């Protein structure tokens, strides 16, 4: 595992100088105290941050870039409209030819990536798969008071994992559980830069009140669905593996909102030492949040070999999923 976060720390106080918000409002509703933002012109992007996280993961896994058979890149904020950021990482890593696929599953992207890697490895097709989650949110948020319901929540960063074949069926990923429900697609979405908005017309309109370029979130609807789906998909994984909630050594939820994590912790009666949260420091980094949190939990010695680890995510789509593993 590896992670990369930009140095630039943006506190709630910093944001309250730009927009009508407060540390109290943000902390009470989300648990976030600060997040990282890319500095414009620094050269950092989802691909470059993903590459930095990947280089750390490769070194720790004792693998060279040429050992990688496939790259899976989860993001909702790709460097370019097309091609995907996966091929940009492939270029940066100097891998001449391998599949490099972007995953457009937003907050659930890393869970989808792990599951996809797991399938390719278990079928015997590939041996080493690099899975990256990376986001540049700050480049696309509305930092005026109009956008405050969304812009205070998200942060930038990247995390990466190198997955490899393990002959012992009781080690590594045991099961993944994936879902989507497109009927709620617009409840958490960014419609603007798309083929559904005729680009020449948008340019001709040059309308400063056009909000379609910024993410839209129906926060309360997202909250209600998130707590239900998180619970369902964790339960499904526990049942599949005959685990009780008390068996979990470490639960790493997608860092959506501290209140959602606390709700799930309470529901499954998990102790504080069974749950890893870092949203206070990084905000919600969407596809990057699980690999960053998992990397940190492991770096801090909170996940050890043989531990029972549960990951779960919910996000735009709506999409959700869980991964259960023996570390
Ligand atoms: N600072 C100060 N006031 C704000 C801010 C802000 N940053 N944002 C909104 N407000 C105001 C609103 O304008 C509104 O004012 P009004 O009552 O005068 O109209 C008031 O605060 C309440 O706004 P709501 O949107 O109703 O606030 P809510 O209590 O629902 O909290 C939040 C918003 C935190 C987003 C909440 O809905 C929530 O937790 N939702 C879950 C969704 C979530 O966590 N998403 C994370 C990203 S998606 C994902 O990862 C799954």
Domains of the chain with CATH codes: 2-164 (3.40.47.10), 172-326 (3.40.47.10)
The pTM score is: 0.96
Ligand 1 pocket, residue 149 CB under 6 Å? yes
Helices (H) and strands (E) in the chain, counts: 11, 13
CA of 254 to the centre of ligand 1 (A): 18
Residue labelled with tokens 């340019």: 203
Q: Are 72 and 130 in contact (CB under 8 A)?
A: yes
What token pair was written down for 195? 């083929």
* Digit-coded pLDDT (tens) for 201-246: 777 888 888 888 899 999 999 999 999 999 999 999 999 999 999 9
What single-letter DSSP state applies at residue 263?
H
ω before 83 within 30° of 0 (cis)? Answer: yes
Mean pLDDT of each 10-residue bin along the chain, 327 residues long = 98 97 98 97 96 98 98 98 97 97 98 98 97 97 95 98 93 97 97 78 81 92 98 98 98 97 98 98 98 98 97 98 98
* Digit-coded pLDDT (tens) for 251-292: 999 999 999 999 999 999 999 999 999 999 999 999 999 999
12, 51, 107, 137: the active-site residue? 107
Residue 193 backbone dihedrals phi, psi, to 5 degrees? -75, 80
The count of residues in the chain is 327
Q: Are 129 and 70 in contact (CB under 8 A)?
A: yes
Catalytic annotation on 218?
A: no
User: Which protein residue's CA is at the shortest distance from atom 35 of ligand 1?
Assistant: 219
């Amino acid at each position: 595992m590896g992670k990369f976060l930009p140095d630039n720390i943006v506190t709630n106080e910093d944001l309250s100088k730009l927009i009508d918000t407060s540390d109290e409002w943000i902390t009470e509703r989300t648990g976030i105290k600060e997040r990282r933002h890319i500095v414009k012109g620094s050269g950092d992007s989802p691909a470059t941050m993903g590459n930095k996280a990947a280089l750390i993961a490769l070194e720790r896994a004792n693998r060279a870039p040429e050992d990688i058979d496939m790259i899976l890149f989860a993001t909702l904020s790709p460097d370019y409209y097309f091609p995907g950021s996966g091929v940009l990482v492939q270029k940066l890593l100097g891998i001449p030819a391998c599949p490099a696929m972007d995953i457009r599953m937003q907050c659930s992207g890393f869970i989808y990536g792990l599951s996809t890697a797991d399938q390719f490895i278990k079928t015997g097709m590939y041996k080493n798969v690099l899975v990256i989650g990376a986001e540049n949110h700050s480049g696309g948020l509305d930092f005026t008071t109009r956008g405050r319901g969304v812009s205070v929540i998200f942060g930038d960063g990247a995390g990466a994992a190198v997955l490899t074949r393990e002959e012992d069926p009781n080690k590594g990923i045991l099961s993944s559980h994936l879902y989507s429900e497109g009927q709620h697609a617009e409840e958490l979405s960014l419609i603007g830069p798309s083929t559904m908005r005729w680009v020449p017309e948008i340019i001709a309109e040059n309308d400063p009140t056009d909000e379609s370029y910024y993410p839209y979130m129906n926060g309360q609807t997202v909250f209600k669905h998130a707590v239900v789906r998180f619970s369902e998909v964790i339960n499904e994984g526990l049942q599949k593996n005959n685990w009780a909630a008390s068996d979990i050594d470490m639960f790493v939820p997608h860092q959506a909102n501290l209140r959602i994590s606390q709700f799930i912790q309470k529901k499954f009666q998990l102790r504080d030492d069974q749950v890893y949260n870092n949203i206070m420091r990084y905000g919600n980094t969407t596809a990057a949040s699980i690999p960053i949190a998992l990397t940190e939990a492991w770096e801090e010695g909170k996940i050890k070999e043989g531990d029972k680890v549960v990951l779960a995510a919910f996000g735009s789509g709506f999409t959700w999923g869980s991964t259960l593993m023996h570390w």
